[in-house]
Amino acid sequence: MARTEKEKMLAGELYLATDPELMAERARTRKLLRSYNQSTEDELKQRESLLAQLLGAVGEGTWIEPPFFCDYGAHIRLGARVFMNFQCVILDCNPVTLGDDVFMGPGVQLYAATPPLDADERIKGPELGRPITLGSKVWIGGGSIICPGVTVGEGTTIGAGSVVTRDIPPYVFAAGNPCRVIRNLR
């Protein structure tokens, strides 16, 4: 039996984002995000309910400052006490997992989505996705971009404005474009 476009997407294979099932899921996500992003600080129960409907998992004590944006939401799993500051974006066409006590500065972007590198393939319209994992106790400085397929190890700090194109080990300070380890933290 042929695999669905969603199955291909989550398996990291070429898929078509214009598939009706995927378009319907993104439309549902946009509606939930509009409600979340328009909510106020006084509507905490509503925010909790919206995040529970939107995300694959939300750990206790998690806080996301609006506005927040994502593609599907269902592929995002957040540990306990995760904090995302204003204007964070997660393109979750593949699993995006954040451990406990992850903090993200404003404007952080996590991109699981990536186009095919071959131009002839890319212009046909298919897309790809690679998982992103942030270990527990990770800090991502404001304006940083985490690229597809990257894992950031536990206890690591990523400096503001970094572009993380490859895995970063645990308990280091890393920064730059491309992001590189500056020093060990243990």
For residue 125, the SS3 value is coil
Q: For all residues of the chain together, what is the average pLDDT?
A: 97
Q: What is the 3-state secondary structure (H, E, C) of 38-77?
A: HCCCCCHHHHHHHHHHHCCEECCCCEECCCEEECCCCCEE
Which residue in this structure is represented by tokens 């400096």?
159
Split at pLDDT 50, 70, 90, the class of 76 is very high
**What percent of the chain has pLDDT above 90?**
97
**The two three-digit tokens of residue 55, written as one number:** 């995300």
